[in-house]
A and B are shown apart, each in its own frame.
Chain A
Amino acid sequence: MKADLSVRIGSLVLKNPIIPASGCFGYGLEYAEVVDLASLGAIAVKGLFLTEREGHPPPRIVETPSGMLNAIGLQGIGVHRFVREKMPELRRLGAVVIVNICGSAISEYVELARILSDVEGVAALELNISCPNIKEGGIQFGCDLASTAAVVSAVRKVTRLPVIPKLTPNVTSVSSFAKAAEEAGADAVSLVNTFLAMAIDVETRRPRLSNVMGGLSGPAIRPIAVRMVYDCARAVRIPVIGMGGITSARDALEFMIAGATAVQVGTACFVDPFIWTKLLAGIEDYLERHGIERVADVVGTLQTDRA
């Protein structure tokens, strides 16, 4: 018997727990030739503002040991063009679309949520209150408990879609932010966004990114991300979507055992755009080897007692 890979995020049932992470999969259509978008649990599309944004000048990425820094600066086409130009094709391809939204004021998140709530095919809203690369990218909301709660409850009031604030790891206690989000009405939380970081060219004594600092992602951050997901999953009752450095089914399962109901995969799909089938096959294989019927039964099964 094939294992049941479905998981539930609030009112949303995903056919499996694997989601390409926002900002790492374009608007999904870039990958439509190499992956059946309908075969994924959902796709988290690139962060959208109300209007088009140009982003930072290159160089926008730099590699570090087992990771990368990015300072893309949320280049994007804006919500209206997204709805007009991308959603019809995403619907046709059967993608379950989580739209990642960003704003510089609560009113902008609210406006984005209003617009997207009426768009057929949008399955959930991920509130990007955690982009470290731009001042107005919501990180000021994500680094302050009261502001996190205020954004979430303001969006909650104007939409029936699941609301998933995306938390920043650049705070002392991520779990208190998860709690604040839950109390404000979030249906789930996702974490982690990238770690504020920097790299310097010692020959020229200049920063390696045009924006000086950037966000660290990739395998280098995985152990910290796993710890943060574990902390948050114990602190809240709503589902946690975990991410940070996942490159294999084993990594994905590590997050799920720590308490993640679903996972997002970002940097690894730059290296391997065909990774999705390998992740799903690896999870199925694991479930079969362990005689587990439903992947949901893996969530939060970490054994911490000493045998």
Chain B
Amino acid sequence: MAAPVDVHAEVLANTRLSADYNVLVLAAPAIAGTARAGQFVMIRTADGTDPLLRRPFSVFEVLRRADATPYAISILCKRVGVGTSRLFEAAAGDRLDCLGPLGKPFTTVGPPSEAWMVAGGVGLAPFATLADELRSAGTRIRLFYGGRSHTDLFYLEWFESRGVALELATEDGSRGSHGRVTVPLERALSAQPASAGLTLYACGPEPMLKAVADLARRYGRPSQLSTERIMGCGMGGCYSCVVRVRDDEGRAHFVRSCLNGPVFNGDDVVWE
């Protein structure tokens, strides 16, 4: 994997998608050129020391020029606190320190003949690059995408235009099936013949990841989960970001998700 670089990246655009979501495009050719789906960047949201630490964000899209050279990345950002609120206010022309690409990407070797991506809310973030990677490998892709309401579902045309089949779910029933995204997922799994080369990829809140891992196991499918932890450094220095995983001998250990993840094999994760 390419060594991470720290880019003083110009904000090319900041598009507000809703009251709580925005997409930030950052000029970062050195990161865009090597980033793989599932990897993340650490962004410094303030110049001073408050907030002090960087914040982790998945690489949402890799943007390319007409001749296909990558020149920028985008991040999909959900406003939750002080750092993400600053990113909401960033204007085109501002510069942000952006360290990456970091972490282990999704495994797309094989590649699977079919990929089902399961996203909860901002958990959509790693799946645009993953869809691009898998599409060029000829994989058939379905996106199971859940949110609280239809206003929490973004980029649907983007995925449709790339031939991704959409299965939507909202907790208020305003779009797609009513309830959690794991409901249509389970329906689809039970309808799928067991022999097909299908891999599940999931990113979202922890209860969703656990449910996807359980379903994957029950239906005998491999799953890869992108986990979310509070990260101090993103480089393996601080040991803040640990996830409990089982090793080859079945023993559980805390491992750093910024180095050994954020993507883990669903069977390996031990839920707290």
* A→B interface (CB under 8 Å): 23-26, 30-31, 33-34, 46, 54-55, 57-63, 65-68, 70, 72, 75, 218-219, 247, 267, 269-274
Given contacts A34-B4, A247-B49, A270-B53, contact A70 B238 (CB under 8 A): yes
B232 and A270 contact, CB distance less than 8 A: yes
Shortest beta-carbon distance from A224 to chain B in Å: 16
Contact pick for B236, options A23, A26, A65, A274, CB 8 Å: A26
Are B237's CB and A269's CB within 8 A?
Answer: yes
Name A54's contact: one of B6, B238, B254 (CB within 8 Å): B254
The verdict on B240 contacting chain A, using a C-beta distance below 8 Å, is yes
Pair B6/A55 contact, Cβ less than 8 Å: no
Partner among A25, A57, A66, A271 whose Cβ is within 8 Å of the Cβ of B44: A271
Residues of B within 8 A of A61 (CB): 230, 232, 238, 240
B238–A272 contact, CB under 8 A? no
Shortest Cβ distance from A61 into B: residue:
B240
Known contacts A54-B253, A65-B50; A269/B3 CB under 8 A: no
Known A-B contacts A55-B254, A270-B238; the reply to A33 vs B4 at CB < 8 A is yes
Is B51 an interface position by the 8 A CB rule? yes
Q: Give B contacts to A, CB under 8 Å.
A: 3-4, 6, 44, 48-54, 97, 99, 229-230, 232-233, 235-242, 253-254, 259, 272
Summed over the interface, the residue pairs from A and B with CB atoms below 8 Å come to a total of 94
Q: Give bound CA distance, A183 to B99, whole Å.
A: 46
Alpha-carbon distance A133/B128, docked complex (angstroms): 41
Which residues of chain B are within 8 angstroms of A58 by Cβ–Cβ distance?
229-230, 240-242
Which of B52, B230, B237 lies in contact with A218, CB distance below 8 A?
B52
Q: A55, A60, A272: which has the most chain B beta carbons within 10 Å? A: A60
7 contacts between A and B (CB under 8 A): A24-B233, A34-B3, A58-B240, A61-B238, A65-B50, A70-B232, A269-B233
Q: In the complex the two chains form, what is the Cα distance from A62 to B240 in whole Å?
A: 9
Are A63 and B52 touching (Cβ within 8 A)?
yes
Q: Which residues in A have their C-beta under 8 angstroms from that of B51? A: 63
A30-B259 contact, Cβ under 8 Å, with A66-B50, A75-B254: yes
Report yes or no: A24 in contact with B229, Cβ–Cβ below 8 A. Answer: no
- In the assembled complex, the Cα of A21 lies from the Cα of B239 at a distance in Å of 14
> How far does the Cβ of A63 sit from chain B's closest Cβ, in whole Å?
6
Contacts of A63 in B (CB 8 A): 51-53
Q: How many whole Å from A120's CB to the nearest CB in chain B? A: 25
Report how far A68 CA is from B53 CA in the complex, Å: 8
Contacts of B253 in A (CB 8 A): 54
Question: Beyond the given A33-B3, A72-B238, A274-B6, could you list 20 further A-B residue pairs with CB under 8 A, ordered by the A residue number?
Answer: A24-B233, A26-B235, A55-B254, A58-B241, A58-B242, A60-B230, A60-B239, A61-B230, A61-B238, A61-B240, A62-B230, A63-B52, A66-B49, A66-B52, A70-B232, A219-B49, A219-B52, A247-B49, A271-B44, A273-B233
B50 touches A57 (CB 8 A): no
Residue of B nearest to A20 (CB): B237
Decide: A55 and B242 in contact? CB cutoff 8 A.
yes
Give the docked Cα–Cα distance between A125 and B240 (Å). 25
Q: How far is the CB of A159 from chain B (nearest CB, A)?
A: 27
Q: Is the CB of B239 within 8 A of A75?
A: yes
When A and B form their complex, which 8 residue pairs have the shortest distance between CB atoms, in order from nearest?
A30-B236, A270-B233, A33-B3, A66-B49, A61-B240, A60-B240, A219-B49, A72-B239
A44–B236 alpha-carbon span in the complex (Å): 15
Q: Which residue of B lies closest to A21 (CB)?
A: B237
Point out the residues of chain B lying under 8 angstroms from A60, CB to CB.
Answer: 230, 239-240, 242
Most-contacted residue by chain A among B99, B229, B233 (CB, 10 A)? B233
- Find chain A residues with CB under 8 A from B49 CB: 66, 218-219, 247
Determine the distance from Cα of A280 to Cα of B53 in the docked complex, in whole angstroms: 22
Q: How far is the CB of A184 from chain B (nearest CB, A)?
A: 31
Contact B240 A25 (CB under 8 A): no
